[in-house]
Amino acid sequence: MSATRSRSAVLGRIRAATTTTPHAGTYESLPRAYRMQGELSSDQCVALLIERLREYDADITECTPDALIPTIATQIAKSGRSILAAPIGLPEDWLVPGCDWRVDHDLSHDQIEQTQGVVTAATCAVAESGTIVLHHGPAEGRRVLSLLPDWHLCVLKTSQVVETLPEYFARCDAPPALATFISGPSATADIEMTRIKGVHGPRFLNVIVVRD
C-alpha cells in the first residue's frame, strides 16, 4: 500500500470507529482533581527536594548567591576533575580558574566525551519527585552536553524549585521544543532488581542549591 493510501485508510478506519460513539465531553471538562498546588513553605520545599535528590545518590551543596562562585570552585576541586565542558551561555564567572574549560562552540561528540564533567544551569526542579528539568537554553546547554561527561554539576536556584509536577507545567508559558527531566543519575535495576548507578548517562550528579 502506498504511504498516502495507508494514511487515508488508517484515518478512515479511525473515523468510522469513533463517529458513532457518544462524545464524553471536551478536553476542558476532563477531571483534574489531583493535587496541582503544593502546601509546603519555600524552605520545606527545598528541604524536600534535597532529601529526594540524596535518595537518588546525588551530591547536594547549599550556598548563598554571594558564595556561588567559590562553591563551584570547591565542588570542582573536590571532584578531582579539571577538564570541563560548559554550555555556551553559562555565566562567565562560573568558569572558575584552574580548570581546562571547553566552552561548547560546536564541540564534537568526541570532544565532549573527552571532558571529565560539565557545569550547567537548570530551568526548574520538582521537589516531590526530586526532578531537575532542563529546557536546554544557552546556560543549560545542548542535550548531549549533560549526557556524555561522567560528572554533571547543576546549579539550581531556590526560586526555581516547585513542590509538584503540575506546578512546573503551570510555569511553562509555552511548551519547550526540547526538555530533559533528570531524577538522579542514570540507573538500572535490570539485573535481579539491584539498583546500579550510572549505566550510560553521567554516573555522578552534583547539585548546588543557591538560596536566592
Partner 1 sequence: MIHPVLDPKLAPPFPKAALPVLRNPQLRKNVAHATDVITSKRGRLVAEKDDWQALRDAASALRAHVLENLGTYLEQFEERCTAAGGVVHWAADAAEAREIILNILRDENASEVIKIKTMTSAEIQLNPFLAQNGIEPHETDLAEIILQLGKDEPSHIVVPALHVNRSQVRDIFARTMHLPDLSDNPQELTAAARTYLRKKFLTVPTAISGANFLIAETGGVSVVESEGNGRMCLTLPRTMITLAGIEKVIPRYRDLEIMLQVLARSATGERMNPYTSLWTGVTKGDGPQRFHVVLLDNGRSDILQRERERQTLKCIRCAACMNACPVYRQTGGHAYGSVYPGPIGAILTPQLMKMEYAQSLPYASSLCGACYEVCPVKINIPEVLIDLRAKVTDQERNEERRFFDPLYLGMRMANKVFASAGRFQAAQRMMRIGLKPLTGKDGWIRSLPAYGARWTMTRDLRGVPQQSFREWWTSRANGKAKP
Residues 141-200 interacting with partner 1 (rule: CB under 8 A): 142-144, 147, 165-166, 168-170, 172, 175-194, 196, 198-200
Q: Which of 38, 49, 50, 52 binds partner 1 (CB under 8 A)?
A: 52
Among 40, 56, 61, 137, binds partner 1 (CB under 8 A): 56
Contact flag: residue 138 with partner 1 (CB under 8 A): no
Minimum CB separation of residue 65 from partner 1 in Å reads 28
Handedness of CA 60, 156, 210, 76 (dihedral sign): positive
Site for partner 1 in 106-125 (CB under 8 A): 106, 109-110, 113
Give the sheet arrangement for strand 161-162, strand by strand: 131-134, 124-126, 161-162
In the complex with partner 1, which residue's Cβ is closer, 68 or 156?
A: 156
Residue 93 CA to residue 55 CA, distance in Å, equals: 31
Distance from C-alpha of 193 to C-alpha of 30, rounded to nearest angstrom = 37
Q: Is 10 in the site for partner 1 (CB under 8 A)?
A: yes
Residues 6+ apart with CB under 8 A from 131: 125, 165, 181, 182, 183
Question: Which of residues 30, 39, 92, 97 is near partner 1 by CB under 8 A?
Answer: 30
